[in-house]
Chain A
């Protein structure tokens, strides 16, 4: 089974066939802007000394993250990573809670117990990442296993990066999913650099999607800066899984446009590579596409960008009003109580 390289979507008609109307397209654009805006504002807050620890962004990966999340159904679940802010935004996490998380405030999703993108709202179908990549990949496979046992038409999405592709969790998770044909879609955020390690020191195949064949399912390579192409491939894979067809591996090719985290200036990435990929900025690409194919007007664009700006201003204000956690609360919640099981997912 050779790996398939996904074609770009070119016309509004093709997009409609893939299941998106014009309203959806404007929603995608808005989610892309919010995603980048949250991370840009977060970076400013970090430089202002308002965010402790380190700070990570997914600049360059917004299209891949929003594209996949847009293809997920309301009851589908996923375990996105630190380059996938767009998944949280698309699933409906309120930006003020993300800023509160960044700043270690009591109203962040982890209430100050964990930082940066180590958060998720399970009510929105998201599972919180850990630093050990890709430890959440087998966890997402387990979610798919639950769906299979209960014969529910739900799908789990498991994210990992090209760096984490070297770890055994990836193999064990994909192998189990392949053997049992579980309803899971694997998304590889291939941003070409695992911290400072380039791809040729991380893997020896041409495409990581080639490895899907070893697990008995299809692998697809898609341009991760093309939100519509990512959406179409993710949609196809998710519906294939939902129909009982088993997993798909989608490799989204991007370039990590910033350092591993804010402390890292990425000196090891050739300047020309940044210049080349800057021309394929996912937001700019999609904006141009909307103007050329969906008659995005100046007024509409102003309305969207203005709305995003107001949302982020208000979000930061609200997050800064959130208190820091009470040190006396430290010992709470190490162990769960039976009442904790009283959630939509645990019933």
Chain B
């Protein structure tokens, strides 16, 4: 075990897979000589050469489409979108081609698309989004959103091993801010299994990505008031761990769903609806949602702070729910 940042953990997992499987290659804008905009692939080109760490033209469609073609020929491509926001340029390749390929043509498309996502650093409307819900809605795609360094490594390895197109949402705000012990050996974190980030009895928070830390901070504050908060970190939202969510809902009887993406049609709505359908009898209060408002992500710090759910918002939401 060694202490690693979230970013180092992704980098380690990716490098490990490239060392053990020569079918794995990386393609993206500035991933080679520069090591990627966030330096996840720093030093990769020196180790693996220019044909396994491929600097592409500014062409998201060709990157993702190219990965699909290479995957059909037996490779295990890992694409990097410089920012998750730019995946919109490759929507067609993911949604039209890759996602539907197994279902209609019978051939799997084992690709990973790495998506540096999320806000909190004045990235503005085009460098801060959390588009995971849009893709979770597409049958055939998997969506992975790790929160911890340990999961970041285990899930990038699982994503590469998975025979499907996997979108790997890596939260930029966690890259260097979050450090934790990461096992040195190779391990796979299962896709579709939630992690209980914190055990509690009074109220459950269902969340993922950077919001795990907002929930954690809120839970610590409320602990002083005698409120016991359980935090379920989904880790992956497609597939998502329905059983773990329902178990926590039944245990605490009060649920708050929290995400950084905007509210309407966000994945929290699916979670809330499922709890409503399947655990209604076990609830002692309405299912609450805390999410970003339905606006583009703003640039200026006070506006962005008003956009991204803050610890105080989570504290207030939990307190209200506890008192219901």
Quick one: CB contact mask for B60-97 with A, threshold 8 Å, 1 for yes? 01101111111111110100000000000000110011
Once the chains are docked, how many angstroms separate the CA of A139 from the CA of B69? 4
Once the chains are docked, how many angstroms separate the CA of A128 from the CA of B104? 9
Q: Is A149 in contact with B102, judged by CB distance below 8 angstroms?
A: no
Q: Is A333 in contact with B62, judged by CB distance below 8 angstroms?
A: no
Q: Is A148 in contact with B51, judged by CB distance below 8 angstroms?
A: yes
Interface residues of A in 26-81 (CB under 8 A from B): 77
Q: Is B93 in contact with A135, judged by CB distance below 8 angstroms?
A: yes
- Chain A residues, CB < 8 A from B70: 142-143, 145-146, 149
Interface residues of B in 94-112 (CB under 8 A from A): 96-97, 100-110
Q: Which among B56, B107, B164 has the greatest number of chain A C-beta atoms within 10 A?
A: B107
Of A130, A145, A147, A149, which is within 8 A of B97 by CB?
A130
Q: Is B73 in contact with A173, judged by CB distance below 8 angstroms?
A: no
Quick one: CB contact mask for A123-165 with B, threshold 8 Å, 1 for yes? 0000110111001111111111111110000001000000000
Of B51, B52, B59, which is within 8 A of A176 by CB?
B59
Once the chains are docked, how many angstroms separate the CA of A343 from the CA of B101? 15
The answer to the question of A118 belonging to the interface, with a C-beta cut-off of 8 Å to chain B, is: yes
The answer to the question of A291 belonging to the interface, with a C-beta cut-off of 8 Å to chain B, is: no
Q: What number of B residues sit within 8 Å (CB to CB) of A? A: 44
Q: Which among B62, B65, B106, B110 has the greatest number of chain A C-beta atoms within 10 A?
A: B62
Smallest Cβ-Cβ distance to A343: which chain B residue:
B107
Quick one: CB contact mask for B138-178 with A, threshold 8 Å, 1 for yes? 01101000000000000000000101100000000000000
The answer to the question of B25 belonging to the interface, with a C-beta cut-off of 8 Å to chain A, is: yes
B218 to chain A, nearest CB (A): 35
Q: Is A136 in contact with B74, judged by CB distance below 8 angstroms?
A: no
Once the chains are docked, how many angstroms separate the CA of A119 from the CA of B142? 24
Q: Is A138 in contact with B66, judged by CB distance below 8 angstroms?
A: yes
B62 to chain A, nearest CB (A): 4
The answer to the question of A278 belonging to the interface, with a C-beta cut-off of 8 Å to chain B, is: no
Q: Is B105 in contact with A340, judged by CB distance below 8 angstroms?
A: no
The answer to the question of A341 belonging to the interface, with a C-beta cut-off of 8 Å to chain B, is: yes
Q: Is A175 in contact with B59, judged by CB distance below 8 angstroms?
A: yes
Which of A14-22, A106-114, A228-236, A248-256 is the contact stretch? Answer: A106-114
The answer to the question of B57 belonging to the interface, with a C-beta cut-off of 8 Å to chain A, is: yes
The answer to the question of A267 belonging to the interface, with a C-beta cut-off of 8 Å to chain B, is: no
Contacts A114-B104, A139-B65, A335-B140 given; does A149 touch B163 at CB 8 Å? no
The answer to the question of A166 belonging to the interface, with a C-beta cut-off of 8 Å to chain B, is: no
Q: Is B65 in contact with A146, judged by CB distance below 8 angstroms?
A: no
A328 to chain B, nearest CB (A): 15
- Chain B residues, CB < 8 A from A135: 65, 92-93, 96-97
Q: Is A149 in contact with B25, judged by CB distance below 8 angstroms?
A: yes
Interface residues of B in 39-58 (CB under 8 A from A): 51-52, 54, 56-57
Of B59, B92, B102, which is within 8 A of A335 by CB?
B102
- Chain B residues, CB < 8 A from A119: 105
- Chain A residues, CB < 8 A from B105: 109-110, 114, 119-120, 122, 127-128
Apart from A120-B105, A137-B65, A346-B108, what are 5 other A-B pairs with CB-CB below 8 Å? A114-B105, A132-B92, A138-B64, A142-B71, A146-B70
Task: Using CB atoms and an 8 Å cutoff, list the residues of chain A in contact with chain B.
Answer: 77, 109-111, 113-114, 118-120, 122, 127-128, 130-132, 135-149, 156, 168-169, 172-173, 175-176, 179-180, 333-338, 340-341, 343, 345-347
